Amino acid sequence: MLNFFKRYRIFFIVFSILSAVILYSIYSLLKPEKKLQVYQPDMVNAELVDTTVQYVRKYHKIADFKLVNQNGDTITQDFYKDKIYVADFFFTTCLTICPIMTDHMLKIQKKIKDDPEVFLLSHTVFPKTDSVSVLKKYAEEKGVIDEKWNLVTGDKKQIYNLARKSYLATKSTGDGGKYDMVHTENFVLIDKNQQIRGFYDGTDPEAIENLMADIKVLKQEYKD
C-alpha cells in the first residue's frame, strides 16, 4: 500500500490541488455578492428623523439643495450627480467630536483623492457663525482638497431639513427652537442615485474602515 502511494504521489498532489481550486470556484460562484441595502426613514433611529418622514418606507432620496462652499461657490446636487459621496454635519468651533470626525474625513480624503467617483460633503449646523470666510480658514488649516471636499453653509432651515429629512443624521434640540439641531457623529454614504447606503460612526476608526470597504462594494455594484 505504501509503494502504491509513493508511485502515485504526484497524481494525488495534483488531484488535491485541482479539487481545492474547483471547490473554491464553485463556492465563489454560489456565494452571493455583498450588496449594500438602501436605507429608508422608517429604518433609522426616530430621534434622527423629522416626524414628517419617519414612516416613509421606500423611494427616499436626498432632496435638491443649494448651498455655498468654502470658496464662495454655489454647490447643488448637480455637483454630486453620478457620484458617490460621504456626508456629515459639523461646526468649526466644536471641541468635542468634530475634531475627531474631521481627522477621519481627512483620512478618507487621502484614500479617495485620486478617485473620480467619490467625494465628501460637510454641512455646518451653525451657518450664522460659519461663514464662507470661516469655512475657508478652517479648510486651509485642516488641509481640505477643494476639488474633493465641500464644506458648505447657507440657509439654516434648508440645512436643518437636509439633516433631518434627507440625510436622517442629526437630532433636534427638542427645546422648541425652530430649526435648531444637535449634530451627531454620523457619516452618511450616498450612492449615485442620491440614496442612503450606510451610516457610520465618524469617531470610530473601525467604522471608517467599514465605510471604505462599503465604498468599494458600492463601486463594484455600478460595474456589475
Please write the tens of the pLDDT for every residue from 95-109: 999 999 999 999 999
Domain assignment present for residue 153? The answer is yes
Domain assignment present for residue 117? The answer is yes
Compute the Cα dihedral for 162, 168, 171, 174 and give only its sign: positive
Range name among 19-33, 130-144, 174-188 with the lowest pLDDT average: 19-33
Q: For 116-134, what is each residue's pLDDT tens digit?
A: 999 999 999 999 999 999 9
pLDDT of residue 183: 84
Q: 93 and 195 share a domain? A: yes
Q: 212 and 108 share a domain? A: yes
Q: 118 and 155 share a domain? A: yes
The CATH code of the domain that includes 61 is 3.40.30.10
Domain assignment present for residue 66? The answer is yes
Which 3-state string (H, E, C) describes 144-180?
A: CCCCCEEEEECCHHHHHHHHHHHCCCCEECCCCCCCC
pLDDT of residue 172: 87
Q: 146 and 99 share a domain? A: yes
Domain assignment present for residue 36? The answer is no
Instruction: Write out the residue range of the structural domain in which residue 3 sits.
Output: 1-31
